[in-house]
Amino acid sequence: MAENILIAFQNIFNPMSFLLMILGVAGGIVVGALPGLTATMALALLVPFTFVMDAGVSLMVLGGVYVGAMYGGCISAILVNTPGTPASIATTFDGYPLTKKGKAEHALVTAAFSSGVGGVFGALVLLFLSPPLAKAALKFGPPEYFWLAVFGLTIIATLSTGSMLKGLMGGAFGLLLSTVGISPIGGDMRFTFGFYQLQAGLELIVVLIGFFCIPEVLCMIEKKVGSQDVITYKPQKGVAKSVILELIKKPVLLIRSSIIGTFVGIVPGAGGNIASLMAYNEAVRFSKEKEKFGTGIIDGVAASESSNNAEVGGSLVPLLTLGIPGAAPAAVMLGALMIHGMRPGPELYTTYGAVTYTFLFSFVLANIVMFVLGFYGSRHVARVINLPFNQLAPIIVFLTIIGSYSIRNNILDVGIMIFFGLIGYVTKKTGFQPGPIVLGLILGPFAENGLVQSMLMGKAEGSMFQVFFGRPISIVLIILCLVSVILPIIAAIRNRKGGVKVAN
């Protein structure tokens, strides 16, 4: 094994490979930043190019792209409130408000640093803890997925700034939206209204772009000419360094978010979107300044970005050890591995050890490269928003059209994006946040599949109770759900008793 590690080091520091990896990270960042292009797509596009390269180098490049894309999503999330990839949904909550305050660079540097920290954390876990963690991942069966989804839904409480009831309505609406398409269990067509394209259901990114982006665009131009035409971003000296110093003082936040990200990544099927939302939620829960979240503090961005990059490493854990991808981009990497003849499993670490270790070490490096690129690039990227709204708005609409079409090459998706965009505008104006709706949409399939599959399992075993409440991991998750729901209620009661009115 030692020789494998030596060979690995030689490989990654080979100038050509290193350069290719940097290009991969850079390319990934660009793709991630464009809403509608996701990490999965970027990887799928690049896999054919890697045929001609040797296995180690192609894995290095693909790993770099994956890492870059996860970070890149934050750029559009921060600058124009549109998650570039679903993993950056939670970054919009505080990232965009920061931009509106003129602190775009703060947000971008925070994202770069947090992504780097999270990514390295995930990469190290991947390197050292894969086999035991993969076994733990297998213990997640349908009941566990169900309770995980329920726990995820409790995040609605955090995201419903303003009215809890409206948040609940939004969440339920999102859950309903998630049922559009072919029902996973009965095989029926649900709510497709005769559009065959809807058999596949509503594509998350399309709805995301609609709900997050279009309302902001409309808000940009809705006021009379001249009242607030542009967000000015003036580069200030020393911003980057001061932000990093501030972040270093919050290690608990970063480590906790990274842990959440890594573990969510390890659970197959749960990806960056869930990871970042959960980490954001926990950041709020453990913070002493809860009210500041949502108004633009770097803690929110840090939590979201560190967890979604940690998730990358996590998603590769079950992939390399069991051949089961932890998230969609990992599935594409599986394809790449298979093409080079590498079968996931113990073989990877023995027969193909040199290649695997090359990949693993380069993965750690890629995160550092990403941080460097982000650190130096933020200043320049942030200037984009200096364009006056009158020009920025149509350009953003243009990009959303491209983005929503490129996902499934489906014109109907563009229509869906616009439809939800307009609905999103109205709901935003009437006090409904997009967060709960999107959360329902994401978690719906997990909840439904988990619920119905568990019910079938219970039927076979003769005991529903045992299936839902009798399994160790489920019990832990149920306790988390209860804690998640009860704590805020207790806090609210305490507040009211103390005479402090909870702002509505």
Binding residues for another protein restricted to 281-320, rule: CB under 8 A: 318
Q: State the Cα angle at 49 between 43 and 51, rounded to 5°.
A: 105
Tell whether the torsion through CA atoms of 258, 263, 266 and 269 is positive or negative: negative
User: Quick check: 141 binds another protein (CB under 8 A)?
Assistant: yes
CB of 244 to another protein, least distance (A): 32
Q: State the number of CA atoms in the 13 A half-sphere of 490 facing the CB.
A: 6
User: Quick check: 491 binds another protein (CB under 8 A)?
Assistant: no
User: Quick check: 161 binds another protein (CB under 8 A)?
Assistant: no
CA 265 – CA 403 distance, rounded (Å):
25
* Residues 60, 21 contacting (CB under 8 angstroms): yes
| Strand-pair category, 181-182 with 189-190 | antiparallel
* Residues 114, 143 contacting (CB under 8 angstroms): no
Q: Which residue number, 55 or 98, has a Cβ lying nearer to another protein? A: 55
User: Quick check: 439 binds another protein (CB under 8 A)?
Assistant: no
Q: Which residue number, 290 or 408, has a Cβ lying nearer to another protein? A: 408
Q: Which stretch binds another protein (CB under 8 A): 4-12, 102-110, 181-189, 306-314?
A: 181-189
Strand partners, 181: 190
Q: Which stretch binds another protein (CB under 8 A): 14-22, 304-312, 407-415, 477-485?
A: 407-415
User: Quick check: 340 binds another protein (CB under 8 A)?
Assistant: no
17-56 residues in contact with another protein (CB under 8 A) are 31, 37, 40-41, 43-45, 47-48, 51
Q: Which residue number, 287 or 410, has a Cβ lying nearer to another protein? A: 410
* Residues 173, 439 contacting (CB under 8 angstroms): no
CB of 62 to another protein, least distance (A): 11
CA 373 – CA 76 distance, rounded (Å):
16
User: Quick check: 334 binds another protein (CB under 8 A)?
Assistant: yes
Q: 388 φ, ψ to 5°?
A: -60, 150
Q: Which stretch binds another protein (CB under 8 A): 190-198, 244-252, 276-284, 477-485?
A: 190-198
User: Quick check: 434 binds another protein (CB under 8 A)?
Assistant: no
User: Quick check: 435 binds another protein (CB under 8 A)?
Assistant: no
User: Quick check: 14 binds another protein (CB under 8 A)?
Assistant: no
Please tell me what DSSP assigns to residue 189: E
Q: Which residue number, 95 or 329, has a Cβ lying nearer to another protein? A: 329
Q: Which stretch binds another protein (CB under 8 A): 193-201, 236-244, 247-255, 283-291?
A: 193-201
Q: 189 φ, ψ to 5°?
A: -90, 125
Those residues with Cβ within 8 angstroms of residue 429's Cβ, 6 or more apart along the chain or in another chain: none
Q: Write the interaction track for another protein spanning residues 254-273; mark x where CB under 8 A is met and - where it is not.
A: --------------xx----
Q: Which stretch binds another protein (CB under 8 A): 63-71, 109-117, 459-467, 488-496?
A: 459-467
Choose among 138, 150, 139, 119: nearest CA to 305.
Answer: 119
211-250 residues in contact with another protein (CB under 8 A) are 214, 218, 221-226, 229
Choose among 149, 101, 122: nearest CA to 311.
Answer: 122
CB of 98 to another protein, least distance (A): 23
CB of 207 to another protein, least distance (A): 14
DSSP, collapsed to helix, strand or coil, labels residue 500 as coil
14, 23, 191, 353: residue in contact with another protein (rule CB under 8 A):
191
3, 54, 128, 199: residue in contact with another protein (rule CB under 8 A):
199
CB of 218 to another protein, least distance (A): 6
User: Quick check: 475 binds another protein (CB under 8 A)?
Assistant: no
CB of 189 to another protein, least distance (A): 6
352-381 residues in contact with another protein (CB under 8 A) are none
User: Quick check: 132 binds another protein (CB under 8 A)?
Assistant: no
What does the buried/exposed string (b/e) look like for 362-400 if buried means 16 or more CB atoms within 10 Å of the residue's CB? bbbbbbebbbebbbebbbebbebbeeebeebbeebeebb
Tell whether the torsion through CA atoms of 388, 391, 397 and 403 is positive or negative: negative
**How many residues sit close enough to another protein to count as binding (CB under 8 A)?**
114
CA 18 – CA 352 distance, rounded (Å):
20
55-94 residues in contact with another protein (CB under 8 A) are none
Total residues found in the chain within this entry: 504
CB of 291 to another protein, least distance (A): 22
Pull the structure tokens for residue 375.
């650190």
Please tell me what DSSP assigns to residue 343: P
